[in-house]
Chains A and B, each alone.
Chain A
Amino acid sequence: MDDFDALIRAALHRAADQAQPPDDLLPRVLASLPPPRRRAARRAAVVAGLSLATLLPLVRPAVVGLTQSAGAAQEAPPRPGAAQLAGAPPRTPPENAAVRAAVPPPVLRFSGPPGVLPPAARAALAHAGAPWRIPRWLPPDRPVRVTLAGTPPAAVLAIALEGRSGRPVVIQERLRAGSTSGAAPEPSAAQVPETLRGRPPLLETWTPATVTYRFRTGRLAITVSGPADARDLVRRVVAGLVP
């Protein structure tokens, strides 16, 4: 390693020393793992070459969101997250109870002086209706489905996090456009995609827009992909959170 290599190495090590991983990373990672019993059973079943029908009871919560229509879903047992929307405590698998208990309570985190939320954060909180439930233990960069439905001004923007299988993991928050702070523009009837008009804000409704919701310390970043009309609409509504 010559002097030039040594210079590069020293500079990169110095730079890397400035950034430290957060302390709550481990509980977030552990809580994201499936319960050991189900994981082991699934692996054993795969190894044994069992059929999908045999596996279905094991992965049923994941499959429900994919296979049931919106109407049929009404009769289905509540999925994770549904109880939270109704105000009830979340149903936690017993295997994960201890881990989840160790997870710091979900908080909306922003960079800035301790205890002082930047105005944009306060506006976002007020708009969403505190407390904004941010499940920090969920891996970032999950695709988020956004449902825009109802007749304005009662249009509801529902944001859900999706698991790997595509099922909603938890209902994160329901944002009523313009209902609290007025920061978000209310979409007019013409702005609501035709495919969504009149539909109830059910999360199993696939929308023409996919929003990638990213939240990490100090930054709220949202990217939107999908057909242009839906993309523009979602962007306008979401942009209202960041005045």
Chain B
Amino acid sequence: MVGRLDDEELLRRCRAGDQDGYAELFRRYRDRAYRLAYVITGDPGLSEDVTQEAFIQAFRRLENVRPGSPFGPWFFAIVAHCARRQGRARRTPWLALPAAESLSDTRAADALDAVESEVWRAVQDLPVDLRVLVALRYVLDLTEAEAAHVLRLPLGTVKSRLHRARRLLRQALDPLVKEADPAWTTSTR
């Protein structure tokens, strides 16, 4: 029933305290929020934290969504903010349980091939602000204008940051890609 409603109607129900409305809104955006958080934080556990916190923040501030405005960009801005905060904090040295320490960091990398793993590492080495943009652009497939809207940045800033992110990624990946395809750099630059 609620699955057929549009976001605006769901928001109205949520504001009235309808648990089904919350649940449906959660189901619609959970996976995208988690994927966005995962690429920004690079850690499944942190992504879980970010997704949970973002939904809680969003659900508590639903009255801030302007009538007629889409829920998605507003919500992804919250996810990006939470993830960026986690992304910055992740250099904190943790006291970690030895048996569990290495699992989350290696689980994803194991399932990727060599090139994908290098791409993943290169993206994770980007400064967090660039990583946020890369995640919005390549994981959520937002346009530059949409990403600018989500982050409330001027379009020019988004373009220049994406350009810088691509340049850093190319620098990091060039040796690997050249090895796989010598014609790569001439055909893509």
Contact = CB atoms under 8 A, between A and B. Distances in A.
A139 B95 contact: no
Contacts of A26: 23, 26-27, 30
Contacts of B59: 29, 33
Contact of A18 (B63, B112, B139): B112
Contacts of A110: 97, 99-100
Contacts of A2: 188
Contacts of A120: 97-99
A43 B187 CA distance: 58
A29 B96 contact: no
B111 A219 contact: no
A139 B188 contact: no
A19 B47 contact: yes
B39 A12 contact: yes
A211 B177 CA distance: 45
Task: Name the prevailing secondary structure of the A interface residues.
Answer: helix
Nearest to B23: A26
Contacts of A14: 111-112, 116
A74 interface: no
Nearest to A8: B138
A23 B134 CA distance: 27
Given A12-B39, A221-B96, A33 B56 contact: yes
Contacts of B96: 219-221, 242
A33 B47 CA distance: 20
Interface-central residue, A5, A13, A218, A238, by most chain B CB under 10 Å = A218
A25 B48 contact: yes
Contacts of A130: none
Nearest to B170: A4
Interface string A29-44: 1101110110110010
A130 B188 CA distance: 59
Contact of A19 (B52, B56, B108): B108
A155 to B, nearest CB: 20
B45 interface: yes
Contacts of A16: 35, 38-39, 139
Interface residues of A, number: 55
Contact of B120 (A11, A29, A32): A11
B95 A242 contact: yes
B52 A140 contact: yes
B115 interface: yes
Contact of A222 (B63, B95, B123): B95
A99 B19 CA distance: 9
A93 interface: no
B71 interface: no
Contacts of A21: 30-31, 34, 47-48, 51
B90 to A, nearest CB: 10
Contact of B17 (A19, A25, A40): A40
A15 to B, nearest CB: 5
A13 B188 CA distance: 21
A36 B62 CA distance: 13
Contact of B123 (A12, A39, A139, A221): A12
Contacts of A13: 138-139
A139 B139 CA distance: 25
A141 B104 contact: no
9 contacts: A2-B188, A8-B123, A11-B119, A19-B44, A26-B30, A111-B103, A121-B97, A218-B103, A219-B101
Interface of B: 16-17, 19, 22-23, 26-27, 30-31, 34-35, 38-39, 44-49, 51-53, 55-56, 59-60, 63, 92, 94-101, 103-104, 107-108, 111-112, 115-116, 119-120, 123, 134-135, 138-139, 141, 166, 169-170, 173, 177, 184, 187-188
